[in-house]
Chain A
Amino acid sequence: MEISTAAAGVTAVGGIPAFAHGVLSSSETLRTVPTICEICFWKCGGVAHVRDGQLWKIVGNEIDPLSEGRLCPRGTGGVGAHYDATRLTSPLIRKSQRGKEQWVQASWEEALQYIAERMLKIKAKYGPESMALFTHGMGSKFFKHTMRAFGTPNIAAPSYAQCRGPREVGFELTFGEGVSSPERTDIANAQCLVLIGSHLGENMHNTQVQEFAQAIQKGASIIVVDPRFSVAASKAKYYLPIKPGTDIALVLAWMNVLVTEELYDKDYVEAHGFGFDAFAAEIARYTPEWAYPKTGIDPARIRETAREMARYRPASLVHPGRHVTWYGDDAQRSRAIALLNALLGSWGRKGGFYYPSGMDVPEYPYPDYPTPSRPKADNPEHRHPFADETLTNGIRDATLSGKPYPIKGWMVYDTNLIYTVPNQAETIRAIQELDLMVVVDVIPSEIAGWADVVLPEAVYLERYDDLHVAWFRQPFVGLRQPVVEAPDDQKPGWWIARELAHKLGLQSYYPWNDIEEYLRKRTESAGLSFDRLKQDGIILGPKQPLYFDEGVPAEFDTPSGKIEFYSTQLADAGFDPVPKFTPPEEPPPGSFRLLYGRAPVHSFSRTQTNPILSDLMDENEAWINQDIARRYGLVSGDYVRLKNLEGITSKRVKVKATQRIRGDCIFVTHGFGHTSREIFPKYRKGASDAKLLTHYKVDPLMGGTGMNVNFVTLDLET
Chain B
Amino acid sequence: MARFGMVIDTSKCVGCMDCVAACKTENDVPDGLCRDWIVTEVTGVFPDLSMEIRSERCNMCDNPPCVHCCPTGASHVSDFGKLVQITEDMCIGCKACLAACPYGARYAHPKGYADKCTFCEHRLKVGQDPACVSVCPTHCMHFGDLDDPHSEVSELLASRKSKVLLPEAGTEPRVHFLTDKAKE
User: Which of A's residues lie within 8 Å of B, judged by CB?
Assistant: 1-14, 16, 18-24, 56-60, 70-73, 76-77, 79, 200-202, 204, 206, 209-210, 212-213, 216-219, 229, 231-235, 239, 241, 600-601, 611-613, 615-617, 625-626, 658-662
**Shortest Cβ gap from A551 to chain B (Å):** 28
Query: Contact: B18 with A217, CB < 8 Å?
Result: no
- Do residues B14 and A219 form an inter-chain contact, with CB atoms below 8 A? no
Nearest opposing residue in chain B for A200, CB measure? B14
Tell which of B46, B118, B137 touches A210, judged by Cβ atoms closer than 8 Å.
B137
* A229:B25 contact, CB within 8 angstroms: no
Rounded to whole Å, the gap between the CB of A245 and the closest CB of chain B is 17
Beta-carbon contact of B31 and A660 below 8 Å: no
Q: Which of B14, B131, B181 contacts A209 (CB 8 A)?
A: B14
On whether the beta carbons of A16 and B12 are closer than 8 Å, the reply is no
Across-interface contacts of A76 in B (CB, < 8 A): 18, 21-22, 25, 135
The answer on a CB contact under 8 Å between B44 and A659 is yes
Residue of A nearest to B28 (CB): A19
Do residues B21 and A660 form an inter-chain contact, with CB atoms below 8 A?
no
How far does the Cβ of B152 sit from chain A's closest Cβ, in whole Å? 14
Q: Of residues B17, B41, B134, which shows the largest number of chain A Cβ atoms within 10 Å of its Cβ?
A: B17
Min CB–CB distance B26 → chain A (angstroms): 5
Docked pose: A659 CA to B43 CA in angstroms: 9
Q: Given A3-B40, A210-B137, does the pair A616, B17 have CB atoms closer than 8 Å? A: yes
B181 to chain A, nearest CB (A): 7
Cβ–Cβ < 8 Å partners of A219 in chain B: 181-184
Residues on B with C-beta less than 8 A from A616 are 17, 20-21
Contact between chains at B182 and A229 (CB < 8 Å) = no
Cβ–Cβ < 8 Å partners of A1 in chain B:
41-43
Q: Which of A3, A22, A79 contacts B122 (CB 8 A)?
A: A22
Give the complex CA separation of A11 and B137 in angstroms.
27
B12 adjacent to A2 (CB under 8 Å): no
A14 neighbours in B (Cβ, 8 Å): 31
Q: When chains A and B are docked, how far (Å) is the Cα of A70 from the Cα of B14?
A: 15
In whole Å, how far is B55's beta carbon from the nearest beta carbon of chain A? 10
- Taken residue by residue from 93 to 122, chain B's Cβ proximity to chain A (1 for < 8 Å, 0 otherwise) reads as 000000000001000000000000010101
Chain A: which residue is nearest B138 at the CB level?
A213
Which residue in A11, A59, A217, A611 is a CB contact (below 8 Å) of B12? Answer: A217
The complex places the Cα of A20 from the Cα of B111 at a distance, in Å, of 12
Kindly provide the distance from the CB of B33 to the nearest chain A CB, expressed in whole angstroms: 8
Distance of A4 Cα from B54 Cα, bound (Å): 11
- Across the interface, do B139 and A213 meet the contact criterion of CB distance under 8 Å? yes
> Is the Cβ of A72 less than 8 Å from the Cβ of B18?
yes
Nearest B residue (CB) for A625: B46
Closest chain A residue, CB of each to CB of B18: A73
Q: In angstroms, how far is the closest chain B Cβ from the Cβ of A603?
A: 13
Asked whether B69 is an interface residue with its Cβ less than 8 Å from the other chain, the reply is no
Q: A23-B122, A206-B137, A616-B20 are in contact. Are A4 and B49 (CB under 8 A)?
A: no
Interface centre among A70, A209, A213, A626 (most CB of B within 10 A): A213
The docked-state distance in angstroms from the alpha carbon of A7 to that of B18 is: 11
A219 to B11, CA, bound (A): 10
Q: Identify the interface centre among B12, B30, B122: most chain A CB within 10 Å of its CB.
A: B12
Looking at B17, B27, B134, B137, which has the most chain A CB atoms within 10 Å of its CB? B137
Query: Would you call A73 and B182 a contact (CB within 8 A)?
Result: no
Do A70 and B137 form a contact, CB below 8 Å, given A4-B40, A22-B120, A241-B47?
A: yes
Nearest-neighbor residue (CB-CB) of A76 within chain B: B21
Is B82 part of the binding interface, using a Cβ–Cβ cutoff of 8 Å?
Answer: no
Contact check, B14 vs A201: say whether CB atoms are below 8 A apart.
yes
Name the distance in Å between A302's Cβ and chain B's nearest Cβ.
15
Query: How far, in angstroms, from A45 to B145 measured CA to CA in the complex?
Result: 31
Q: Is the CB of B49 within 8 A of A7?
A: no
Q: Is residue B60 within 8 Å, beta carbon to beta carbon, of the partner chain?
A: no
A229 with B51, Cβ < 8 A, contacts A71-B135, A72-B137, A613-B21 known: yes
Sampled A-B contacts (15; CB under 8 Å)? A3-B39, A3-B42, A6-B17, A70-B136, A70-B137, A76-B21, A201-B14, A201-B16, A209-B137, A212-B14, A217-B139, A229-B46, A229-B49, A241-B46, A662-B46
Q: Specify the chain A residue showing the minimal Cβ separation from B125.
A: A23
Partner of B25, one of A5, A24, A206, A612: A612
Q: A234-B53, A616-B20 are in contact. Are A202 and B46 (CB under 8 A)?
A: no
Closest to B41 in A: A3
A231 touches B41 (CB 8 A): no
CB <8 Å contact, A600 and B16: yes
In the complex, whether B67 has a CB less than 8 A from a CB of chain A is: no
Most chain B CB within a 10 A radius of its CB, from A19, A59, A233, A616: A616
State in angstroms the CA–CA spacing of A218 and B11 once bound together.
Answer: 11
Of A5, A77, A212, A217, which is within 8 A of B38 by CB?
Answer: A5
Residues of B within 8 A of A23 (CB): 122
Contacts of B163 on A, CB cut-off 8 Å? none
CB distance from A352 to the nearest CB of B (A): 20
The residue in chain B whose Cβ has the minimal distance to the Cβ of A6 is B38
Q: Which residues of A contact B21 (CB under 8 A)?
A: 73, 76-77, 601, 612-613, 616
Among B11, B16, B120, B183, the residue within 8 A (CB) of A601 is B16
The one of A5, A71, A209, A661 in contact with B138, judged by C-beta atoms closer than 8 angstroms, is: A209
Q: Assess the A218–B46 pair: CB atoms within 8 A.
A: no
- CB-CB under 8 A from A216, the residues of chain B are 11-12, 181-182
Decide yes or no whether B68 CB sits under 8 A from chain A: no
Question: Which 3 pairs, one residue from A and one from B, show the smallest C-beta to C-beta distance?
Answer: A201-B14, A12-B32, A213-B138
